[in-house]
Amino acid sequence: MHSAESLNELEQYSRRNNLRITGLQGDTEFQSSISVTEQVSSLLNTKLGLKVQKEDIDVAHRLGKFNRVKARPVIVCKAPNEG
């Protein structure tokens, strides 16, 4: 039981800098991580007024199976700031 709890804590800690974005349009069946990263960077800059470069995002990808009717959520993983 202790190992399962420790693993869960480690998984939760590793997700502390992740964002989950819903409603991001432009979903395609084979959308690349690079394309999603560019969309997220643009969204954060234009809609939220943040100064985020594509290089600030480790990876951004869609979750789940492609659905023509509803855009899949996006997970954005960002490394913690050094220093």
The span from the CA of 77 to the CA of 83, in Å, is 19
The SS3 of residue 10 is: helix
Write the CA distances from 4 to 1, 9, 14, 34, integer angstroms.
Answer: 5, 9, 15, 34
The SS3 of residue 68 is: coil
In this prediction, residue 81 carries a pLDDT of: 63
Q: Is the pLDDT of residue 83 over 50?
A: no
State pLDDT tens for residues 29-75: 999 999 999 999 999 999 999 998 999 999 999 999 999 999 999 99
Nearest in space to 79 (alpha carbons), one of 2, 6, 19, 1? 19
